[in-house]
Structure 1
Amino acid sequence: MKKVLFLMLVITSSFQILAQNDTKNLNVDKTKIAVEGYDVVAYFKDNTAVKGNKNFVVVDNGITYYFSSQNHKDIFTKNSTLYKPQYGGWCAYAIGKTGEKIEIDPKTFKIIDNKLYLFYNKFLTNTLKLWNKEETTLLINADKNWKTITKK
């Protein structure tokens, strides 16, 4: 019986460590809310940034996502990976330019090949505009940099 309890404890601890590692590179607040509470499905379906509602919540791998409607919540639940932002929700421009994890403005986004990219837009710096000037290069660099970041 002690061996079974010990084994269960080891397995549980392993899953907790894996869950922590899965979230360490995600841009979430201290309560693990993604995209500052914005509805990730709305970016795709409505082509706009819409604040989610606490009545429509999904917790996916320990991360909380808010939605503006039951329909968007249901869409996300069917295939969450399609709607999650690239690069853990960090600024795509910064990941591509320097490999740094920089905060985003959830209202500043772009959909490229059915993928959501978020950008920093504060203090007179809109990185989406900078991204658009050299998107091809930055996208390649961001993908490479993100692989390096997630290996750490």
Structure 2
Amino acid sequence: MTAQRQERNRIRLGIAWIGLLALGVTAAVPSPGVQAATTERVVADRNTGLAIDGFDPVAYFTDHQPRQGQSQFEASASGAVWRFCNEDNRKFFLARPDIYGPQFGGYDPVAVARSVPLPGNALVWLIVGQRLYLFDRDENRRVFAADPERYLHAARERWPALLATLAE
């Protein structure tokens, strides 16, 4: 092997090492979505501060479906901005956010049961025991619906420790 060829191989090896190192650093840095999922006690959009993507939490109970709230009917609670369809829904929520707000701060209860703070999706929801639960995906909603007590027991047990890891 010539000296030039040996030098080219060393350069290629060096470039490969730099690429692997960069890949390792990139993999170690959490994506923005992961940071949002693990730094809030209530799931809220980092840019707008809106909880549950601006959907009215009371509408899940009164209209039996998610409805987008309006900016003229807003309230701040639990470090997030909540939107409502009308003034009555806003009043109901402010009187009892523990009932109308999504449980576990809007985190998926199946994931919470596994000690993972995975944000729920406002369009994948279920009301069980007069409480609102949001899920990351439909599969989690299905397994939860099949045995809610199992997941609620595990989620309630793990929530305090998980909550302590989330920022205020």
Please give the TM-score of this superposition, normalised by the length of structure 1. Answer: 0.75
Deviation at 1:144, TM superposition (A): 0.7
Say whether 1:117 aligns with 2:130. Answer: no
Matched, 1:91 2:108: yes
Cα pair distance change 1:129/1:34, threshold 3 Å:
same
| 2:139 counterpart (113, 126, 147) | 126
Structure ranking higher in strand proportion: 1
* Residues paired across the two proteins, number: 126
Q: Based on CA coordinates, which of the two structures has the bigger radius of gyration?
A: 2
| 1:39-75 alpha-carbon deviations (Å, 9 max, x no partner) | 0001111111111111110112431000011221121
Moved over 3 A (4+): none
Q: Is the 8 A contact 2:93 2:100 kept in 1?
A: yes
CA RMSD of the aligned region, Å? Answer: 1.7
Structure 2 gaps of 5+ residues are 1-38
Q: CA deviation at 1:38?
A: 0.6
Alignment of 1:3-152 (within 5 A): 24-30=40-46, 31-96=48-113, 98-121=114-137, 125-152=138-165
Deviations 1:49-103 (A, max 9, x none): 111111110112431000011221121122222211111111111112x111112
Q: Which amino acid aligns with 1:50?
A: R
Identity percentage of aligned residues = 24
TM-score normalised by L of structure 2: 0.68
